Structure formats: C-alpha cells, structure tokens
Structure 1
Amino acid sequence: MKTVILNTYGPASVLVIADMPNPKPKPGEVLIRVQASSVNPVDLGVRSGNILPAEKGFFPMTLGWDAAGIIEKLGAGTEGFKVGDHVMAISPQPGTQVGTHAEFVALPIEQVVKITKSIPFTTAAALPLVGSTALAALQALNLPKGASVMINNPDGAVGAMAATIAPLLGLRLAEQDETDVDGAVDVRGNEHAQRAFVAVRDGGVYATIVPDWWKPNGVFTASRGITPLIVQNPANQDVLAPLAEWLEQGILKQDIEDILPLDQIADAHRRMEAPGRTGKLVLRHFD
C-alpha cells in the first residue's frame, strides 16, 4: 500500500511516499481503506521530534490521527460493523504509533464509528481529533444545561469547535470579558489560561487541554473551590459517536481551508508551520 513515512525526525522534507505491506486486522480491529485524512499540529510536533511517543519511536513511522474511509476487512469480534461500511476513525498516533496517512489502517473498533454515505469523506476526515478533543473538554466540566462556559480561544481550531459544540450540549457560551462564569476550557495555556481561570466563579469548574501548563506546585493549584482538570482525548466512541450524529444532522462541520492529494503532505506540513495559521488541511487519498 502507498504510505507516508518518515525514517528520522526532522523538517517536512523527511516525509516520503513508500510502498508498505497492508496491515492485517487483529481481533477487535477493522481494516479501513482510508479515503481521506487530515493534518494536525500534533503531527508536526511528532515529525520534528518535539513531541515524542511515550515509548521509543520506531521507524519507518507513519503519522496521522484522523481518518475516514470504507471498511475493507473485519477482524474477529467486530460485531456491529460490516465490510463496505463508511466510517470515521481516530488513532492516537504518538501512543500507538499507528498512523492514518496511508491507504489502509487497522484500528480497534472502539476508535471507529459508522457514518452515513451522504457525508463526504473529506468532511468526516477533518473532524475526529479536533472535534473529540473539544467535546471531551466540555464533557469533563460536567456542567448542567443552561450553565455558562468560556472558551479562551474561540477562533482557534479546537476552541472554535468547542464554541460550536457547547450550545449543542445546552451550554451558554460566555463572552471573553465575562466574569463569574460557571466553567471554562483552556485551549491555549500560559497567560491566556490564567485569565480564563480568574473568570470562573468560586466553586466553578476549569479544564485544560494544555497539560504542560499544569505542573505540580506550579502556577495553578486548587483554589477558590476549583480543582483544575487535565483533559486527555480518550479517542473512543464516546467522543466520536456524537460527532457522527451531528455531522449527519448537518449541524456540525469543520471549516476546511484546502484539500490536497496525499503525496503533497510535506507541502501541507510546511503550510501549517506558517505563523498564525489555523486552517484545516485535509488529505485526499484516492482520486
């Protein structure tokens, strides 16, 4: 199969197209013929060596968290899925070192949800990581319907998605200069995190997706009845299924800046490295 690999950490030029063996689905896994994937900032971090896998990375390595495609083959114990199903999937690549920038990927069914055939693969492929991260952060707050929530960067990728999802959960999106909000989600860290923390009322809730910002005995500790929550994307059906449902209803969609062929992935990385760029770049795997 055609796969994007890197044999060493480095600049975008280390990404090359190679012919690799097709993966075989293990029990509990499905083999997906990937029709589209997308590029996320975490891919750039892993490629450059700034974000290292929990265990020593092995080469050749394939990057990519997001995928949309068609089930090609089933492993044992994959009831509920069938060959030919259209699906959306997520792969936490730094942890599993299973990337989606390939013609085929085998993933556990917990990381896969079915989508209707009316949803374009390029639309679905733009959503898994950014959408599930935003949803997981909002779910972590566990706020009741009608509560106010601040997103401290509603114009960024995850922040914009969280701002879109919050009303779908019955939450009121707070203004950036609002105070005494019921909860807040930090998607930026640093001084932006501090300002959002101050805006939360005593006894409110606060969650961050920027774990390096919360350090033991660091800037933030439990105070005013608020215990900061660190949110890690669970990369499972609990956060994927609602996204698929909202996609089908036409009430959730990630803005896409451009769609490129898979073999232009190095150019996609270079474009994403430009200062201030937040647009979503999707990769089309087949013409």
Structure 2
Amino acid sequence: MNTNKKMRAIGLKQYGSLDGFAPIELSLPEPRKGEVRVRVHASAINPADYKVALGELKFVHARNFPMILGYDFSGVIEALGEGSEWNIGDAVFGFLPYAPSNARGAFAEALIAKTNEITLKPTGVSHIQAAVAATPALTALQAIRDIGKLPHSGGRVLVTGISGGVGSTAIGVILKLQAVPVGVGSGRGIELAKKLGATKVIDRQHQDVFKSSEGNFDVIFDAAAAYRWSQWKASLRSGGKYVTTFPSVPLFLDKLKSLIATTGVGFVGVKSRQADLQLLGKWLESGLTISIDSTFAVRDVAKGIEKLHRGDILGRVAVDVINGF
C-alpha cells in the first residue's frame, strides 16, 4: 500500500441505495499536524452507515463522493504528522466523528485520525473486538454517566434496544459503572441481555413495559429511540433522567415540559474522547463483552449494512478490513 501511495476502499457512488458501494482506489492520505495515519485492520457497521447511504441522515458525514463510510476502527499507526507523540507501529482504536466535517471512512485500507481521538488497543484484545466496542460503549457511557448523571454506585438503569449494538453493550457498561441494569427488548435479545448480565428483562411484545419495570430508575437510556420521556417520567426517581439517541421534535417538546418537572430529558451525541476510550480499553482488558452478530469482509460491506438495516441482528456487525479486499 505504501509503495505506490494508493489505497483501496469501498466507496459509495451516490445517496439513495445500498447497492451503490463499489471498490475504488484513492490517493493515500498524508497526516498533518495533530494527526496520524492508521492502517485499518477492522471496522464495524453502525446505523449511521445505512442512514447516510440512503440519504436519510446526511449531516453525520461530509457530502463527498465517492463517499467512504465506516466510523469505528482499529488498526496500526503507519505514518505520523508533525509533533505526534505516537509511534509508528502502535496499535490503536477509536471512531471517526459523526459530523459533517468528517470526509473520512474506515471501509478503507487507511484513514487519518486525530491524535487525541484514539487510544492504545490492549494487547489481549483483537482488532475486531476493539473496533466493535468503540461507538456503542462510548455512546452508553456518555449517555448514562455524563448526561444521565448516574450516581457513583448503586444506581438503577433501564435500557431499551437490547438486541442492538448500543443497547446490548450498555448492559456491560452499566455493570462497569456499578449500577443495576434492567433491559427492554424482545425475541432473541431477551436471552442475550440475561447472558450479558441484566438483572431483569422486560419482554416488550408480551408485557406492559411501563407497568413491568418495578420501581424507579436513576437513568432510562432509550438506546432504541423508541419511546418518550412523557411515557417514562413516572418511572424515574426525582432528579432522574431519560436519555435518547435520536433528536426529534417530540424530544424537544418533552425537554420543554421537563423544565417544570422533577425529572429530566437528554440526548446523547457521542464524542470521541480519549479519556473515555482509555477507560474502555481497560474495561475490554478486564472482560467487558461486546456481542458480535457476524463479521463481513470489507468487500462485502454492503451485505453487512443491508443485514443491519433489516434488523436481524444480535449485537454488532463487524468488518474485516485487513484481509477483506
């Protein structure tokens, strides 16, 4: 890859279809001050990938075509920008910004990362494991700890969407935060949540989720973005907070109503904070489990995105980049 200054990638030709991905060749990017170039070993597929590809959520990636998607990554540093304190050969992981300023993607042989938005990958953790952990674990951590203001220990947290990447990962994050996780889901996700350590799981297809929650919560993390604060406010303790993953008009209406209530409403837009990635690295090293549904070669990433779009998954869909072209 380095000899001819070119790299391979999977590019999206235009918005509107998941059939628009194709192999392309691009110039190898050069890192500037405060940046490194990472040879990508592994990535993972997020809902943002199919929402951007279909033109449903254009503001979380630059509108450049051919577009390289893929946010999560794990790999090895192969080039340094000016003043970098990293070393060539360091194994690192993280995720690219979910922002219109991000014109990069992890479905490629290499990417440019900011030096303060990556952390060392633990030696006992595979590139696949690190890549699939980055976005969902930090989303859950920032939603529950920072926005939800979870007590230091002994809190109670309800999480929805336990079949998905963020919801299933949140169970382990809640346990690491020394709190008690209660899950809401259905089908195969119920057994997955129990396996991951949920103390109670509510079957949303066969139970009244609001009447079955039993007691109040410090945080209700709606990872599935399937509910509203107005539905859950009676299940929150005084000072507790409902946090969702998707901004909407109902969310902002609820936020206004919550100003005169004893409970709050929040939205998490995950940020790649190095301190949080470092904490995640320690958690992965000490046994935090990230459920992986399947792994696709990067050349078949469109199939993986389609699988996630259908919703027929348990946990994360991983992407093998280093061996996948």
TM-score by length of 2: 0.81
- Distance (Å, rounded) in 2 between the aligned partners of 1:10 and 1:235: 28
Per-residue deviation, 1:55: 7.9
Match of 2:71 among 51, 65, 73: 65
- Distance (Å, rounded) in 2 between the aligned partners of 1:112 and 1:226: 35
2:95 paired with 1:87: no
CA contact 1:152–1:193 (8 Å) conserved in 2: no
Amino acid at match of 1:206: Y
SS in 1 for 2:237: strand
SS in 1 for 2:253: coil
Q: 1:247 — aligned with what?
A: 284
Per-residue deviation, 1:212: 1.8
Q: 2:261 — aligned with what?
A: 224
Paired residues, what number?
A: 285
Q: How does 1:2-151 map to 2 (within 5 A)?
A: 2-53=8-59, 57-79=63-85, 81-95=86-100, 96-140=102-146, 141-144=148-151, 145-151=153-159
Structure 1 residues 276 and 221 mapped into 2: Cα distance closer, same or farther (>3 Å)?
farther
Structure 1 residues 219 and 183 mapped into 2: Cα distance closer, same or farther (>3 Å)?
closer
Per-residue deviation, 1:190: 4.1
- Distance (Å, rounded) in 2 between the aligned partners of 1:178 and 1:133: 26
Q: 1:234 — aligned with what?
A: 271
CA contact 1:15–1:266 (8 Å) conserved in 2: yes
CA contact 1:184–1:197 (8 Å) conserved in 2: no
Match of 1:169 among 154, 166, 177: 177
Unaligned runs of 5+ in 2: 1-6, 183-199, 203-212
Structure 1 residues 180 and 224 mapped into 2: Cα distance closer, same or farther (>3 Å)?
farther
CA contact 1:150–1:196 (8 Å) conserved in 2: no
CA contact 1:111–1:235 (8 Å) conserved in 2: yes
SS in 1 for 2:276: helix
Structure 1 residues 163 and 193 mapped into 2: Cα distance closer, same or farther (>3 Å)?
farther
Per-residue deviation, 1:148: 1.5
Per-residue deviation, 1:156: 2.8
Per-residue deviation, 1:20: 0.4
SS in 2 for 1:100: coil
- Distance (Å, rounded) in 2 between the aligned partners of 1:166 and 1:284: 28
TM-score by length of 1: 0.91
Per-residue deviation, 1:197: 3.1
Q: 1:108-166: per-residue Cα shift (whole Å, max 9, x none)?
A: 01221101233211111111111111111112222221121221333332111111111
Amino acid at match of 2:124: S
2:242 paired with 1:197: no
SS in 2 for 1:217: helix
CA contact 1:180–1:199 (8 Å) conserved in 2: yes
- Distance (Å, rounded) in 2 between the aligned partners of 1:38 and 1:110: 21
2:265 paired with 1:265: no
SS in 2 for 1:76: coil
Structure 1 residues 207 and 161 mapped into 2: Cα distance closer, same or farther (>3 Å)?
same
Match of 1:156 among 164, 177, 183: 164
Q: 1:178 — aligned with what?
A: 214
- Distance (Å, rounded) in 2 between the aligned partners of 1:233 and 1:75: 26
SS in 2 for 1:125: helix
CA contact 2:293–2:313 (8 Å) conserved in 1: no
How much identity, in percent, do the aligned residues show? Answer: 26
- Structure 1 stretch 202-211 or stretch 118-127: which is displaced more? 202-211
Structure 1 residues 106 and 10 mapped into 2: Cα distance closer, same or farther (>3 Å)?
same
Per-residue deviation, 1:4: 1.1
CA contact 2:255–2:264 (8 Å) conserved in 1: no
- Distance (Å, rounded) in 2 between the aligned partners of 1:278 and 1:213: 29
- Distance (Å, rounded) in 1 between the aligned partners of 2:252 and 2:231: 19
Q: 2:248 — aligned with what?
A: 212
RMSD of aligned residue pairs (Cα, Å): 2.1
